[in-house]
């Protein structure tokens, strides 16, 4: 039985004060939630505030990106050790905005995922095709390659510290959600790919999140699908009410 996960990716939104306000509203609202894991990824500058505000709750805190090196002359970068040092337990790697706007490659995603695990944290590895790739009939090929390269440095036992997130680029921040059927089909591709590389047991336990314009009114239909184990939520994770409504998908 895979425990569902509802994760929020705040992208470049919220100051420390705004983060404090958000947690003040969300923490009491999710105190009874035990049927899913809750993760929030604020920007680096709000990590400490978020960690303090979430302390004692079931909300885990993630970073949105990381460098794979321990330390060094990498201006602007943050290392896994720095993240675990502040108490961060999760890191998102390979988000499509990092791939498209900041030159992230499948190779660097693989390095980052391995570095996150080596530091004792868990990684959310994002994959997903663009609209042009989907229209060219290449969605499956692209997602498989991103996944294989993203996990390339990991062993079967490492996979228990990984969550995969299928985020079709054409559905991120566009208001356009993949239908539950399209999402489920691609989640099936991800699970089969992991099964071929790491075996059926590892694939069966892998949690796979859907991301792309998830909102309170579409989460239930997505969560109904067999291979969808949760959601990675962008815009709707910025408002405590909307995020809580998504967390309450089963109620």
By CB under 6 A, is residue 49 in contact with ligand PEP? no
Only one residue has tokens 């239909």, namely 221
Among 51, 121, 172, 183, binds ligand PEP (CB under 6 A): 172
Q: The tokens 């049927």 sit on which residue? A: 35
Residues in binding contact with ligand PEP, number by CB under 6 A: 14
Does position 43 interact with ligand PEP (CB under 6 A)? The reply is no
Contact residue for ligand PEP among 125, 143, 214, 247 (CB under 6 A): 214
Give the residue, chosen from 110, 211, 230, 240, that forms a contact with ligand PEP under the rule CB under 6 A: 211
Whichever of 116 and 202 has its CB closer to ligand PEP, that residue is 116
Which of 145/239 has CB closer to ligand PEP? 239
How many angstroms separate the CA atoms of 90 and 131, rounded? 29
User: Within 13 Å and on the Cβ side, how many CA atoms surround 246?
Assistant: 30
Please name the helix (run of DSSP H) or strand (run of DSSP E) that holds residue 90, with its range, or none: strand 90-93
59 Cβ contact list (under 8 Å, min separation 6): 23, 26, 27, 30, 38, 39, 40
Q: Which of 67, 95, 119, 133 is catalytic?
A: 95
Residue 242 is a binding residue for ligand PEP (CB under 6 A): no
Q: Read off φ and ψ for residue 146, nearest 5 degrees.
A: -60, -40
Instruction: List helix spans (H) across the chain.
Output: 16-29, 47-54, 80-86, 96-101, 106-118, 131-135, 139-150, 180-198, 200-205, 219-223, 240-247
The one catalytic residue in 104, 129, 167, 187 is 167
Determine, following the binding rule CB under 6 A, whether residue 240 of this chain makes contact with ligand PEP. no
107 is catalytic: no
Unique residue bearing structure tokens 């490492």: 158
What is the H or E stretch that residue 72 is in? none
**Among the residue ranges 19-27, 65-73, 112-120, 227-235, the one whose residues contact ligand PEP (CB under 6 A):** 227-235
Whether 161 is catalytic: no
With respect to ligand PEP, which residue has the nearer C-beta, 43 or 212? 212
Q: Is 9 among the residues that bind ligand PEP (CB under 6 A)?
A: yes
Catalytic residue positions? 95, 167
Interface residues with ligand PEP (CB under 6 A) are 9, 11, 167, 172-173, 211-214, 232-236
């Amino acid at each position: 039985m895979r425990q569902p996960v509802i994760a929020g990716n705040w992208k470049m939104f919220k100051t420390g004060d705004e983060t404090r306000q958000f947690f003040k509203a969300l923490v009491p609202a999710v105190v009874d939630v035990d049927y899913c894991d809750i993760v929030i990824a604020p920007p680096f500058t709000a990590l400490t505030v978020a960690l303090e505000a979430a302390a004692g709750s079931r909300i885990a805190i993630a970073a949105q990106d990381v460098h794979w090196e321990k330390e060094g002359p990498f201006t602007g970068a943050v290392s896994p050790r720095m993240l675990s040092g502040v108490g961060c337990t999760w890191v998102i790697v390979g988000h499509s905005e990092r791939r498209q706007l900041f030159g992230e490659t499948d190779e660097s995603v693989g390095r980052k995922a391995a570095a996150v695990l080596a530091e004792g944290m868990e990684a959310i590895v994002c994959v997903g095709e663009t609209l042009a790739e989907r229209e060219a009939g290449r969605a499956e090929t692209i997602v498989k390659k991103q996944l294989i390269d993203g996990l390339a440095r990991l062993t079967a036992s490492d996979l228990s510290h990984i969550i995969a997130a299928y985020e079709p680029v054409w559905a991120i921040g566009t208001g356009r959600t993949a239908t539950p059927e399209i999402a489920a089909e691609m989640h099936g591709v991800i699970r089969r790919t992991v099964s071929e590389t790491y075996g059926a047991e590892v694939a069966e336990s892998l949690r796979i999140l859907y991301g792309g314009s998830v909102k309170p009114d579409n989460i239930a239909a997505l969560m109904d699908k067999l291979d969808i184990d949760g959601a990675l939520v962008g815009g709707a994770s910025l408002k405590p009410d909307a995020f809580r409504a998504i967390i309450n998908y089963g109620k």
